[in-house]
Structure 1
């Protein structure tokens, strides 16, 4: 088990387990390879009984190729049969709600009963890309609550604009999920009566408070009668604890190099100094909630983690040094959870 967080004893029945696919691009390869892996990951997750796979909108990040979640979802949907697919999430202030209604309405028509629409208000990129490439007004995030409601209306066929319907989209009622890493998202999801997913896989600080606020302030809606809380968590699984710990060390070092070192080439000694720096330790602390170990270790950690915040579902980010180990980790996790 990871020693990153002291968790309470597990309670309750088994909960739903899903996957967050960041569509990593490894050094020296094209994004096309990551798309092939996303298909393989979803197919394996489907066979193992995972509930869903989500893809996150990111921009100008050389190692992440999920910049267009709707397109990637459509590609994966064509190669799978039953597993739910969705965004984790679409950064709604980057888009007109009407456009997203059309995109996910199209997906819902192509893959009925399998599409989710997770929504975030962060830009998913740096400020230069935000303003100059995406041409987004930084103040667009201020209208996120209104945009969520407008999107919901388009999908329900109750258009907020007279004479304008989302085609496809109207009447599909694609389920919406609010994503966040702060109390803002928790409060909004509770007010609108929508499911809430917390990004604790990289932003652990406010997890417990947000979960508490969401459940306490939840107002039932037509979409949801009771609160539904999803917590994200990292998993580094291997055949031995020693191997898992070594793999996590590599993952942590790679994260520091990518974020603090901006991916520049450096010697192992230089990377050691960066890892030990304040900035390096801050980056590693973002991975606070990580299950590390063998199948029993990981399963026990996830049960305790879920119990800590009374989660209805966990969405897992597989954190391994390479693709083969990530896929093996998925097998270990899937078989441990059966």
Structure 2
């Protein structure tokens, strides 16, 4: 069976707090571990009232202490926001705390709108142009390269599993050139999915980290006892996507029956484009959609996104999804 993992954003729901969100994420990670998911990733976003995972490394320490075997990591760290040396220290520390369990996915988007550059006091456009060099520097720091003026402690000698993340051809080309595993963010930007995977596989150069191309695809997944219930769960995240695209991000709202049908045509089309790589429905429907995505992409792994207003609903969704995929693709 294709490996399944979880992508979380520590969603802050309307009426809830960041404390509630982070505790719910820890419970979700423990649940995912018990259900047999391989990885639990958190994503870096900033200035989002509905996302509590902005300080990813700190959050991962919390997740690590709530779990014991599941791999935990960043999906991802937006490297232009950071100094590679500091990231090496943070993830070297996590590797020391939870050896053999740490993943470090790297992206070059800011994880926020243009105001983040002023708050970080950085030229993020220039930093994004520097992204390939920063990735190489991070690798050198972890390797303890003696040519560096300073060794990171913790960091030098640490061995987090590095991934490149992307939603365009740039990330695919860089991941191929560096011989790193590649994760495509089809859960929110699916338009270049097929082209990016083709480029990655065609130009992949083997490395010590990865002998052959290794692909993860991000997808939305909501499984429930009925199709209607699954779409109702998904409506909270649908509302968040529409709010974000219209410049009004907020906390994760409660589900709304028939939300997609209530949208004007332009908003409905935008949502459909963003959410086209999704598996929503009963166990059988979700398994059918995920299996079709695996056939389409040849993905080695799927990472499942899917914030819900009720944390227990997502836990149940993950359970149903794993049951469905085991039945559809027995070992």
TM-score by length of structure 2 reads: 0.91
Q: Which residue of 2 aligns with 1:9?
A: none
Distance in structure 1 (CA, Å) of the matches to 2:122 and 2:268: 31
Q: CA deviation at 1:323?
A: 2.1
Q: Note the 1:231-270 alignment, pairs <5 A.
A: 231-260=217-246, 262-263=248-249
Equivalent of residue 309 in structure 1, options 277, 294, 297 = 297
Q: Displacement, 1:40? A: 0.4
The residue number in structure 2 matching 1:42 is 29
For 2:278, which of 264, 279, 290 is the aligned residue? Answer: 290
From the superposition, tell whether residues 159 and 335 of structure 1 become closer, same or farther in structure 2 (CA, over 3 Å).
farther
Please name the residue that 2:98 is paired with: 111
Q: Do structure 1's residue 57 and structure 2's residue 52 form an aligned pair?
A: no
Q: Which runs of 4+ in 1 moved over 6 A?
A: 271-274
Residue 182 (structure 2) pairs with residue 193 (structure 1): no
Q: Which residue of 2 aligns with 1:7?
A: none
1:335 corresponds to? 323
Q: Superposition pairs for residues 1-338 of structure 1, below 5 Å?
A: 14-128=1-115, 130-138=116-124, 139-162=126-149, 164-260=150-246, 262-263=248-249, 275-338=263-326
How much has 1:274 moved relative to structure 2? 8.4
Displacement of 1:247 after TM fit? 3.2
| 1:253–1:275 contact (8 Å) kept in structure 2 | no
Distance in structure 2 (CA, Å) of the matches to 1:137 and 1:85: 30
Q: 1:80 to 1:250 in 2, by over 3 A?
A: closer
The structural deviation recorded for 1:30 is 1.4
Give per-residue Cα distances to partners, 1:286-332, cap 9 Å, x unaligned.
01111011112111211110110110000000243432322221121
Contact 1:53 1:86 in 2 (8 A): yes
Q: CA deviation at 1:167?
A: 0.6
Deviation readout 1:27-50 (Å, 9 max, x if unpaired) = 122101011001100000000000
- How far apart, in 1, do the equivalents of 2:261 and 2:35 lie? 41
Q: How much has 1:272 moved relative to structure 2?
A: 8.3
1:250, distance to aligned residue in structure 2 (A): 4.9
Task: Could you tell me which runs of 5 or more consecutive residues in structure 2 were left unpaired when the two chains were aligned.
Answer: 327-331
Task: Give the Cα separation in 2 of the matches to 1:160 and 1:15.
Answer: 41
Following TM superposition, by how much is the alpha carbon of 1:148 offset from its aligned partner in structure 2, in angstroms? Answer: 0.2
SS of the residue aligned with 2:134? helix
CA–CA distance in 1 between the matches of 2:7 and 2:260?
Answer: 29
State how far apart, in whole Å, the 2-side matches of 1:249 and 1:298 are: 16
Contact 1:260 1:279 in 2 (8 A): no
- The C-alpha deviation readout for 1:197-226, integer Å capped at 9, x for no partner, is 000000000000101110110000111111
CA contact (8 A) 1:230 1:311 kept: yes
Whether the aligned pair in 1 keeps the contact of 2:100 and 2:159 (CA below 8 Å) is no
Name the counterpart of 2:329.
Answer: none
Deviation at 1:78, TM superposition (A): 0.9
Distance in 2 between residues matched to 1:78 and 1:188, nearest whole Å: 33
- Aligned residues: CA RMSD: 2.1
Cα distance in 1 for residues equivalent to 2:171 and 2:69: 29
C-alpha displacement of 1:168: 0.4
Instruction: For residue 90 of structure 1, report the CA deviation from its aligned partner.
Output: 0.3
Could you tell me the TM-score, scaled by structure 1's length? 0.90
